[in-house]
Amino acid sequence: MENSKLEEKVEILVELTRHNLVLSLFMSGATQDDICKSLHMSKTKVVDMLKGVKRDK
């Protein structure tokens, strides 16, 4: 029981870290395709993470 809670928390931390990395790469000028290739993620997942995000100009 305790182990599954720990696994759940670790998975949440991994997902938050991945999301932060996607945002950082995007804001630094990487394209969505570059992000997909670099992080081995699907385009759909990257697009979902970046919904509503605009680059600073």
Summarize pLDDT for 5-50 with one digit per residue, the tens: 999 999 999 999 999 999 999 999 999 999 999 999 999 999 999 9
Please determine, for residue 1, whether its predicted confidence score (pLDDT) is greater than 70.
Answer: no
* Cα dist from 12 to 7, 15, 19, 38, 47, whole Å: 9, 5, 11, 21, 19
User: How many other CB atoms sit within 10 Å of the CB of residue 4?
Assistant: 8
What span, in angstroms and rounded, lies between the C-alpha atoms of 8 and 42? 22
What span, in angstroms and rounded, lies between the C-alpha atoms of 30 and 33? 8
Side-chain-facing half-sphere of 37: CA atoms under 13 Å: 5
